[in-house]
Structure 1
Amino acid sequence: MNRRTAVQRVALLLGGTVLGAEMFLQYGCKPAANKDAAEAGAKTLPDFFTKEEIAYLDEIAETIIPRTDTPGAKDAKVGEFMNVMVRDCYRPEEQKVFREGMKKIEALSKEKYGNGFMQIQPEQRKELLTMLDKEAKEYTKTPEYKAKKEALDKEEAIKDSLERAKGNFGYDKASIPRHYFRMMKELTLLGFFTSEPGATKALRYVAIPGKYEPCIPYNKGDKAWAT
């Protein structure tokens, strides 16, 4: 599965666009900053998250896509994928929301279950993230969010007109950051379905290039195609 197809499928599953998708499609989340770092003698930019935080994100992702008879999110190293995406493809304000969201999950876990997310049981993790998933879905429906978005859209439309008058057609519009769990869920799905385990074991896979077969039999219950 190529990047564009993966982004389209995740967007379809979540009913909207995927944050950072444009950068991911264009650069694979390796912008000029990484090139500059390489030229300076470093192989890549420093990690945005610590090893402990990446492990934490792995557990969140594994709760969303657990291992069953097929690989789970940890098998696909989704925590490391999130680290790269948040570092390279998110704006500073989005990075802040994402990191603060991790703290909120930890605080909610302690408040609800008396222990941090890494210590609670799988059933409790699932219950907590299900609650946050519902909250994330309702987030854009609140009057406060709608009012902020309407005001920002008007402000950005004026700025866009001014920039276009100057001949600047690459104006980057500001936007209201998404709910932090929406970000985590997007990256979990995108990271998993663009990984080798996700594409070859959770989905049916035929290596490309390969011979042309105009008609492939499909039986009810078969896995979706990765390619």
Structure 2
Amino acid sequence: MNRRTVLKNLALVIGGAVLLPSCVGKDGTSYVKLKHVNIDEDGQRLIADMAETIIPKTTTPGAKDLNLPAFVLLMIDDCYDNKRQEAFVAGMKAFTAKIKNEHGKEFGDLGTKTRETILMAIEKPPVTKTKPQKNIPPDPITNFYWGVKGQTVFGYTNSQYFMTKEIVYELVPGRYIVHYPVSKLKLKTA
């Protein structure tokens, strides 16, 4: 083996080992480096906790198992325009402040039932008897929630797990069965 090749490979391994801790957060979870949106580790942890509350781990993998929080962040970073990205970040900050004021804790530190109740309250606002105004901008918290939920569900339904284990995808539906017994056919008699 060539000594130069060994030294190059060794340098790559050592360099990767040095850079690896910068990609891992305080709690040992890896975080996504975003290009257009400024969402810190706490914001990314919030999105991960919301995604896991929306699609929890049961007998099937949850959102964190399928790496859906990273998908949500990358979709927001790559596919949202500047105005929608700013509205998303503003909604995230408002949501964090509201949770701290009402519960005194971070969203991820709350119990599962409490988190579900909070998200259901955002999804189904209380019914009022006044007519909705057309020119009033939507609530930033609601925009943030629907952004996270929409991308989480989209990522889940397009994930490899869902497409191979939950819904068995066939490229061409229907099969040509050469030998099919006539007795299994349901013939209509007139």
Q: Hey, what does 2:96 align to over in structure 1?
A: 106
Q: Hey, what does 1:147 align to over in structure 2?
A: 135
Q: Hey, what does 1:135 align to over in structure 2?
A: 125
Is 2:143 the partner of 1:179?
A: yes
Alpha-carbon distance in 1 for matches of 2:112, 2:176 = 44
For the 8 Å contact 2:49–2:108, the answer to whether it is kept is yes
Match of 2:125, SS state, is helix
Q: Hey, what does 2:163 align to over in structure 1?
A: 199
CA shift for structure 1 position 59: 0.9
CA shift for structure 1 position 125: 0.8
Alpha-carbon distance in 1 for matches of 2:67, 2:83 = 25
For the 8 Å contact 1:105–1:117, the answer to whether it is kept is no
Amino acid aligned to 1:204: I
Alpha-carbon distance in 2 for matches of 1:187, 1:136 = 24
Q: Hey, what does 1:93 align to over in structure 2?
A: 83
Q: Hey, what does 2:187 align to over in structure 1?
A: none
Alpha-carbon distance in 2 for matches of 1:137, 1:205 = 40
CA shift for structure 1 position 52: 4.0
Q: Which runs of 5+ in 1 are unaligned?
A: 1-43, 150-176, 216-227
In the superposition, the TM-score normalised over structure 1's length comes to 0.52
Query: For 1:54-102, what per-residue CA distance to the aligned partner results, in whole angstroms no more than 9, with x for missing partners?
Result: 2321110111111111111112211111111111111111111111222
1:27-176 to structure 2, matched below 5 A, reads 46=35, 48=37, 49-135=39-125, 142-143=132-133, 146-147=134-135
Q: Hey, what does 2:8 align to over in structure 1?
A: none
Q: Hey, what does 1:12 align to over in structure 2?
A: none
RCO higher in structure (CA 8 A, sep ≥6): 1
Residue 116 to residue 148, structure 1, CA distance change in 2 (3 Å): closer
For the 8 Å contact 1:109–1:117, the answer to whether it is kept is yes
Amino acid aligned to 2:135: A
Residue 148 to residue 111, structure 1, CA distance change in 2 (3 Å): closer
Q: Which runs of 5+ in 2 are unaligned?
A: 1-32, 178-190
CA shift for structure 1 position 109: 1.6
Identity of aligned residues (%): 29
Match of 1:183, SS state, is helix
